[in-house]
Amino acid sequence: MRDRLEHYLRLWHLSDPEPLAQTPTSHVYTVQHNGERAVLKLLTPIGVEDEQGGAVALRYFDGQGAVRLMRHDQEAHLLEYAGDEDLAPMVWRGEDVAAAAIIAGVLNQLHRVSLDKPPPELQPLRRRFRELFVKAARDEAAGEDSIYGRGARVAQRLLAEPRQECVLHGDIHHQNLRRHPVRGWLAFDPKGLYGERTYDAANTLCNPPHAQELVSSEARLLRITQVLANGMGIEVDRVRAFVFAYACLSASWLDDGAGDVRQQMLTVARNAERHVHTG
């Protein structure tokens, strides 16, 4: 990784690298670029496959509600530095509703970017839900009426009649937004999806991490879905349906090693299901 870091420092005229984060998809550094702080992401083999759609999305957002993608190739991204403050501390301070209103505002900015035809590199939502559909089919074949099967049926209904399709971030949560000192709250690390904009509200109800009691609260789900619906100008019933489907999808991604997180996602799903019209 050191050789790759040195390669991009030379190639993109960067200096002063400082480790920022390490994830399964990337090794992240802050660097100096033209006298300003920036972020260099060196992609792992998983990231090379997983993050290309994110680069496409950032190109199309072009700084509107998101960090700017300054340079990129198949193995690295150079990004605008958004700042150190994310939204999670607002939630810890009891400002959950205010944080949700900020998320709605950022999503409105992202979703204003319109395309006549979505780029082929973006993943359609139907493909995004593939793991849930596979899990539901297995349960159905076993004669089980599982929450995954019910979530898959709701997802199929939502996807069959999409509304207000656009380029999506795909992974909006409290720690994927940071406050820029000049440009305000900006999203980063998009997945690069295309589909109904309501989907982008769903992950908010599964976050922030390490807030099990809050995330598991049905009252909180009802309150925050209403804030998001009001702020985005979308139907609250549809937000709750997407939360149900998304929480089932999120649980279907997790193996036994993440059992506690999976159970939390299923709690969110059960809370949402009670408020979803299935007819």
Query: What is the Cα–Cα distance from 120 to 141, expressed in whole angstroms?
Result: 33
Instruction: Mark which of 61, 80, 99 sits at the end of a domain.
Output: 80
Give residue-wise pLDDT tens across range 100-134: 999 999 999 999 977 677 788 899 999 999 999 99
Asked, as a colleague might, if the bond just before 209 is cis with ω within 30 of 0, I would say: no
State how many domains the chain has: 2
- What pTM does this model have? 0.94
236-240 long-range contacts, CB within 8 A, separation 24+: 237/275, 237/276, 237/277, 238/158, 238/163, 238/198, 239/198, 239/201, 239/202, 240/272, 240/275, 240/276
Average of per-residue pLDDT across 166-180: 96
Instruction: Mark which of 51, 80, 109 sits at the end of a domain.
Output: 80
Instruction: Mark which of 37, 56, 80 sits at the end of a domain.
Output: 80
What's residue 51's pLDDT? 83
Say yes or no: 109 and 75 in one domain. no
Whether 73 is covered by a domain: the verdict is yes
Q: CATH number of the domain that 126 lies in?
A: 3.90.1200.10
Please say whether the beta carbons of 238 and 158 come within 8 A. yes
Whether 278 is covered by a domain: the verdict is no
Nearest to 99 by CA among 268, 224, 264: 224
Give residue-wise pLDDT tens across range 208-220: 988 889 999 999 9
- At 2, the pLDDT band (50, 70, 90 cuts) reads confident
Q: CATH number of the domain that 63 lies in?
A: 3.30.200.20
Show which residues are catalytic. 171
- At 144, the pLDDT band (50, 70, 90 cuts) reads very high
What's residue 52's pLDDT? 86
Whether 257 shows a pLDDT value over 70: the answer reads no
* Average predicted confidence (pLDDT) for the chain: 94
Within 10 A of 17 (CB to CB), how many other CB atoms are there? 16
Give residue-wise pLDDT tens across range 67-95: 999 999 999 999 999 999 999 999 999 99
The share of the chain scoring above pLDDT 90, in percent, equals 86
Query: What is the Cα–Cα distance from 59 to 232, expressed in whole angstroms?
Result: 23
Query: What is the Cα–Cα distance from 165 to 65, expressed in whole angstroms?
Result: 17
What's residue 272's pLDDT? 98
Show the domain range for 19: 2-80
Please say whether the beta carbons of 272 and 240 come within 8 A. yes
Number of H helices, E strands in the chain: 13, 10
The sheet carrying 123-124 orders its strands as: 123-124, 193-196, 165-168
The region of weakest confidence among 64-78, 105-119, 171-185, 243-257 is 105-119
Whether 278 shows a pLDDT value over 70: the answer reads no
Whether 279 is covered by a domain: the verdict is no
The more confidently predicted of residues 24 and 201 is 201
Please say whether the beta carbons of 210 and 88 come within 8 A. no
What's residue 118's pLDDT? 76
Average of per-residue pLDDT across 166-181: 96
The region of weakest confidence among 4-13, 46-55, 137-146 is 46-55
Whether 181 is covered by a domain: the verdict is yes
Say yes or no: 227 and 135 in one domain. yes
Query: What is the Cα–Cα distance from 92 to 234, expressed in whole angstroms?
Result: 27
Which residues face 184 on adjacent strands?
180
